[in-house]
Amino acid sequence: MPSQLFSPVQLGSLALENRVVISPMCQYSAVDGSATDWHLIHLGNLSLSGAALLMTEATAVEAVGRITPGDLGLYSDDNEAALRRTLEGIRRNSEIPIGIQIAHAGRKASSAAPWNGGQLVPAGEGGWRPLGPSAVPIHPGEPAPDVLDHAAIERIRDAFVATARRAIRLGFDAAELHFAHGYLVHSFLSPISNRRDDRYGGSFENRTRLALEVFDAVRAAWPHDRPLGVRISSSDWIEGGWNVEQSVELVHMLKQRGCDWLDASSGGISPDQKITIGPGYQVPFARTIRKETGITTLAVGLITEPRQAEEIVAAGDADLIGLARTVLWDPRWPWHAAAVLGGQVRAAPQYWRCEPRGVRDVFRDTEFGMR
């Protein structure tokens, strides 16, 4: 039978050639939020992978919304100009659709890069005060985040819209709002981090208010001929925290508001999380959300083998497969998966002659002509 992983799929109004998506992956290599040569090399390399969609890393809506001082941002004219140069370089050499993940780190901001320990960088040492729904620190002994008042919440909502408008000008083909991994919007969703007693805390309705307000505001600004998706943490992996049942209810509301796809991740709210990690450990969340809501769903998390990815799509557990560390290890993973599964991928003509002996017809013909 033809490969399901390498069958076309519609993501909102965007036609994708296969089901493989390069997930957002922070590189901690920006300068004052602006992309550098590293981003051109990194994203340019992955743009030639044969995947159907390339997502940029989490892109902050304001300077204090960066996870680290090296995070990418799209909150200034300088940020926009630098990212334009990166995108123009990629587009001269690749036809891959490119999406942006729009984010705010919230109480997990002002952290050191992972290779420097990842701990909170104090204000005065190159860091700043993180922001959150409540005065609940990530780690015991760390300073608590500054608590957002209603004016600050409105400012951040508007910052998401401003970043989306910049992304529109840059011609991104899709956008994903980052509501996962303990970052700002997730920290409002989860009762682990949200201890508020106003209209943004307490009940499920109140805890989801910011997520829906941000989504509605960006959806109103984002062109309807370009898909808009959301990444959530489907579970906190903590008793009494956010769970998959609440995720399903939230996704129902997002879908009704025009959400085109759901990226089903998990965790990140607290070091107390108890995650059972194994191959495809987050796929059950994607399966449940897809079954209960009917939304186009992206599965992520230790999906490393071609036949594993094929089985997830063929079983109807997810519509799309997101690759992150796997594709850093093997930037031509879609080529190799196509060879195993009998699929075809788009490849630059400069690479057409590289198929190993015994491997045939992985590269499909493109507008550049026949081989």
Active site residues: 183
CB 343 within 8 A of CB 309: no
130 within 8 A of 106, measured Cβ to Cβ:
yes
Contact 345, 362 (CB under 8 A): yes
Residue of 208, 273, 264 lying closest to 239 (CA atoms): 273
Report DSSP letters for 73-115, one per residue: B-SSHHHHHHHHHHHHHHHTT----EEEEEE--GGG-SBPPGG
Q: Kindly write down the DSSP assignment for every residue of 231-261, as one continuous string.
A: EEES--SSTTS--HHHHHHHHHHHHHTT--E
The pairing of beta strand 53-60 with beta strand 20-22: parallel
Instruction: Give the Cα-Cα-Cα angle 362, 366, 369 (nearest 5 degrees).
Output: 110
* d(C-alpha 365, C-alpha 363), whole Å: 7
**Helical pair 283-293 and 244-256, crossing angle rounded to 10 deg:** 50
CB neighbours of residue 8 within 10 Å = 10
- DSSP state letter for 369: B
| Residues β-bridged to residue 102 | 59, 177
DSSP summary character for residue 48: T
Contact of 98 with 87, CB cutoff 8 Å: yes
**Cα(130)–Cα(143) distance, integer angstroms:** 9
